[in-house]
Amino acid sequence: MSLKRWAPPLLIPLMYLALPCTLEASAQAEEAKVVLVVARWEMKENGPVLVIPFSDALTDKQKNMITGGFTTVSQLSVRLPGHNAGTEPGVVFNSQCSVKFDAWEETYDIVRVQSENSKPFVSKDFTEYASVCLTGDIRDNNIIKRFNSQGGYLQAQLTVKQTSAEEALKIKDWLIQQQSGVMQSLFSHMLGDISLHQTHVVNIRVPKRTETSEPATKQEPAVVPVKKGRG
């Protein structure tokens, strides 16, 4: 069986194999704004604490997820620049909250995960939720010393993802049922989880402790396009 004789039919699967890369590339190539927040120093009983508010760093999509009534999990991870997310030596703060906004009662049912006090509680406003789940609170002496006199930059990864899968499953099932025959199984296999989620990176400017306080967050226009993670 000579390759030359069978080359033309073999071209087709080779071309097709290139296609998912193209599709995937186009799906991923979406620019996101780079958000910059400014940390502030606060004096607490045990000494200075670096407080980083992230409530204004949420994207519209993330806000809609939270206030849309979906049960969501917000994950906040602050690390030193140059370290990959999740690498232990680089992570200086971690927070994870489960929240469900009851649009009827207009309350937030919050559970702070990975906390000593992880009892669920109800909050009546977004600010309180943000102060619990979307605020970084760094007390590590090494970090404090590092940024105390000269300031610097930190980087955070903020993820909001929908955990109430029922609605997503219903819609996925409905979409699959609209297809016919072979398309159903293929589509079902390829579609994956359609729950909402979004992750983006937030740059944090840490002022010197001697600087006067600035407004908590500042949102600046895009500096460098960043590929949005397809989570």
Partner 1 sequence: MTNPVKPDEQQAGLSLPGRSLSGRSTDQDMDEPVAITGTSPASKVPWHESWIIRAAIISIVIIGLGYISGAYFAWQGIATIGRLAYMEEVEGALGSYLETIKASHQEKQTAMTVKLRPALSQATAGGSQAITDAELLYLLKAAGAEELGNPAEMVISIYSEFSQGQMTYDAVKWLSRDQLQAGNLRVEFPKGKFYEQFKATEDLRQRYQLIGARLEEQITPTLIQASVTIMVISFILLGGLFWVYAQKFKDKIGEVLEGFSVWSELDAKFRFSPGYTGELKMITSQFNAMANEVEANRQKSLYLEKIASWQIIARKLAHEIKNPLTPIQMMVSQLKRRYKGEDPEFGSLLEEAQQIITEEVTVLRRMVDNFSNFARLPQPEMKNIDLNQVCRHVTELQKNAFPQHTITFESKTEKTPAWADDDLLRQVLLNLVKNAGEACGETPSVIKVGLVTTPSDHLITVRDNGPGIPEEALGRVFEAYFTTKHTGPNPGMGLGLAVCQKIIIDHGGKLGVTSRPGETVFSIRLSKDRKPISSHGNNV
Give the binding site for partner 1 (CB under 8 A). 5-6, 8-9, 12-13, 16, 19-20, 23, 26-27, 30, 61, 64, 68-70, 103-105, 107, 167-168, 170-171, 175, 179, 182-183, 186-187, 190-192, 194-196, 230
Number of neighbouring beta carbons within 10 Å of residue 33: 14
Kindly tell me which of 68 and 86 has the beta carbon lying closer to partner 1.
68
- Write the DSSP symbol of residue 53: E
| Residue 42 burial (C-beta neighbours within 10 Å; 0-12, 13-18, 19+) | exposed
d(CA 211, CA 190): 53
Task: Give min distance, CB of 226 to partner 1, in A.
Answer: 16
Kindly tell me which of 143 and 196 has the beta carbon lying closer to partner 1.
196
Kindly tell me which of 74 and 217 has the beta carbon lying closer to partner 1.
74
Task: Give min distance, CB of 109 to partner 1, in A.
Answer: 13
Nearest to 159 by CA among 87, 71, 108, 97: 97
Number of neighbouring beta carbons within 10 Å of residue 197: 19
Task: Give min distance, CB of 93 to partner 1, in A.
Answer: 28
Angle at 117 between CA 113 and CA 118, to 5 degrees: 35
Angle at 211 between CA 200 and CA 127, to 5 degrees: 45
- Write the DSSP symbol of residue 220: -
Kindly tell me which of 152 and 187 has the beta carbon lying closer to partner 1.
187
Task: Give min distance, CB of 41 to partner 1, in A.
Answer: 38
- Asked if residues 73 and 149 have their Cβ atoms less than 8 Å apart, the reply is no
Question: What is the full DSSP assignment across 62-124?
Answer: HHHHHHTT-EEEEEEEEE-TTSPTT-GGGEEEEEEEEEEEETTTTEEEEEEETSS----EEES
Task: Give min distance, CB of 199 to partner 1, in A.
Answer: 14
Kindly tell me which of 6 and 153 has the beta carbon lying closer to partner 1.
6
Task: Give min distance, CB of 115 to partner 1, in A.
Answer: 26
Kindly tell me which of 103 and 223 has the beta carbon lying closer to partner 1.
103
- Asked if residues 95 and 53 have their Cβ atoms less than 8 Å apart, the reply is no
Kindly tell me which of 83 and 228 has the beta carbon lying closer to partner 1.
228
Task: Give min distance, CB of 188 to partner 1, in A.
Answer: 9
